[in-house]
């Protein structure tokens, strides 16, 4: 995909996020949003109609973030309190269904002082922003809102929150997740991950949205509850991941995974999006193949993510790294998505060691590579119409980076 990324950076005590246009080789293409710290900036024609695609010819190679609002190219978004580190997680979507993209930013909630802020939602503006700097302290309900929850007590000095966006209930309006990437305990498991459904006039003009008072009820969103604890350090956490359509029903699904494991096993969870609705909470232990499934990687701690359709069947696939496998050679497992209406449901549990080529396959590293510790989508790197993946082997000789070839 061509076009420019809109990079989000932060470098001040309160957190300061800036949207910067950067030119890539292609001068024409979509502005994209991804889980890898990019954000979508709403743009408009002279008529005010929002654009999903933008011709960026004529924009300079780079823009200094220290510049004033020259040509309204950069909007700086400042955090609300010392240590917030706003911009730790970012996402975008039209959450209030007004036809203009919005932005969600997460940060850090220090334990000192019992901070309850989880995220800041800033509504896109058809006429742009009047100032070059926007402070989240000015969110008043008309221009966005702050998402709050109960103060969570953990042994760490702060909780880091991240976000993920997509349309998980299939109503055509973007939704968002807010979850902690830190390790929680059974005492606060219900506070781990919240899914909030977007809708017309989201939050009704209020300056804050409370996730726990009243709690989400299944109509406006739901809570995701983990299925096991007692892992490394007796803790549990999620790592930020992506949404994609892994069962071919046209609705975004949710992929989350554990950040830590017992050292001998890690898991990823796929929750299928649905137009049939959700309950107030969804326990990951209840995934049964129809509502979603669990991927088990017994080769040690690893990460799972998606790079889209890797086998050319039109359905998103998943890859799961195991950098500690095979005496630190490392391994990456690719799990194919499928149209469950045609091919039947997934098993409730998918063990990557049992993949047979028809449902997925493994890529192995050389001795000491730790292949699979770092992975990313590569787009269509060889122009054959099928997505590719980029795999890092940081402990190989001088480090290695590879794009696996396909027959």
3-state secondary structure of 250: coil
Asked whether residue 157 is domain-assigned, the answer is no
Quote the pLDDT of residue 4: 37
Cβ(255)–Cβ(305) below 8 Å: yes
| 274: pLDDT strictly greater than 80 | yes
Residue count of the chain: 407
Asked whether residue 364 is domain-assigned, the answer is yes
pLDDT tens digits for 370-386? 888 888 888 888 888 88
**Domains contained in the chain, number:** 1
Asked whether residue 388 is domain-assigned, the answer is yes
Cβ(170)–Cβ(254) below 8 Å: no
CA distance 321 to 394: 13
Average pLDDT over residues 145-160: 75
Cβ(23)–Cβ(59) below 8 Å: yes
| 336: pLDDT strictly greater than 50 | yes
Cβ(300)–Cβ(322) below 8 Å: yes
Radius of gyration of the chain (CA): 21
Asked whether residue 358 is domain-assigned, the answer is yes
Tell me the Ramachandran region of residue 101: left when phi exceeds 0, alpha when psi lies from -120 to 50, beta otherwise. Answer: beta
Asked whether residue 363 is domain-assigned, the answer is yes
| CA proximity to 108, closest of 35, 185, 181 | 181
Mean pLDDT over the full length of the chain: 76
Domain region containing 358:
234-407
pLDDT tens digits for 78-130? 888 888 889 888 999 999 999 999 999 998 877 666 778 889 999 999 888 88
Q: Can you tell me which residue has the tokens 């950067």? A: 22
Assign residue 368 the CATH number of its domain: 2.130.10.130
Asked whether residue 50 is domain-assigned, the answer is no
Asked whether residue 311 is domain-assigned, the answer is yes
pLDDT: is 123 or 186 the higher one?
Answer: 123
DSSP annotation string for 55-66? E-TT--S---TT
* Entry pTM: 0.79
Asked whether residue 97 is domain-assigned, the answer is no
């Amino acid at each position: 995909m061509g076009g420019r990324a809109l990079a989000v950076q932060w470098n001040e005590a309160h957190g300061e996020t800036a949207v910067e246009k950067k030119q890539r080789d292609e001068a024409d293409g979509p502005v994209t949003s991804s889980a890898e710290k990019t954000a979508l900036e709403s743009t408009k024609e002279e008529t005010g109609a929002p654009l999903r695609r933008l011709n960026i010819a004529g924009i300079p190679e780079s823009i200094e973030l220290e510049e004033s609002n020259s040509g309204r190219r950069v909007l700086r978004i400042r955090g609300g309190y010392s240590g917030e580190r706003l911009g730790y997680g970012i996402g975008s979507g039209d959450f209030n269904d007004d036809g203009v993209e919005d932005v969600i930013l997460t940060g850090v909630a220090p334990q000192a002082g019992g901070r309850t802020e989880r995220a800041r939602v800033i509504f896109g503006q058809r006429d742009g922003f009047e100032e070059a700097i926007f402070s989240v302290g000015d969110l008043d309900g008309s221009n966005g809102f702050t998402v709050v929850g109960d103060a969570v007590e953990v042994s760490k000095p702060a909780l880091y929150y991240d976000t993920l966006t997509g349309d998980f209930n299939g109503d055509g309006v973007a939704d968002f997740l807010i979850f902690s990437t830190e390790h929680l305990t059974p005492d606060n498991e219900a506070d781990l991950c919240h899914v909030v459904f977007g809708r017309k006039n989201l939050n009704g003009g209020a300056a804050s949205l409370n996730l726990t008072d009243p709690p989400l009820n299944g109509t406006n969103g739901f809570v995701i509850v983990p299925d096991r604890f007692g892992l490394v350090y007796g803790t549990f956490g999620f790592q930020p991941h992506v949404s994609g359509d892994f069962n071919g029903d046209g609705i975004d699904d949710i992929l989350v995974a554990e950040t830590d494991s017992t050292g001998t096993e890690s898991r990823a969870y796929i929750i299928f999006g649905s137009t049939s609705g959700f309950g107030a909470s969804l326990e990951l232990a209840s995934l049964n193949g129809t509502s979603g499934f669990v991927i088990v990687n017994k080769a040690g701690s690893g990460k799972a993510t998606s790079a889209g359709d890797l086998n050319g069947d039109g359905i998103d696939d998943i890859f799961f790294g195991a950098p500690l496998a095979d005496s630190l050679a490392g391994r990456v497992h690719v799990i194919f998505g499928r149209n469950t209406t045609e091919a039947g449901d997934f098993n409730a549990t998918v063990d990557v060691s049992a993949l047979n080529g028809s449902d997925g396959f493994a890529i192995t590293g050389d001795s000491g590579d730790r292949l699979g510790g770092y992975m990313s989508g590569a787009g269509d790197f060889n122009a054959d119409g099928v997505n590719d993946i980029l795999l890092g082997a940081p402990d190989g000789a001088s480090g290695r980076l590879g794009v696996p070839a396909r027959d």
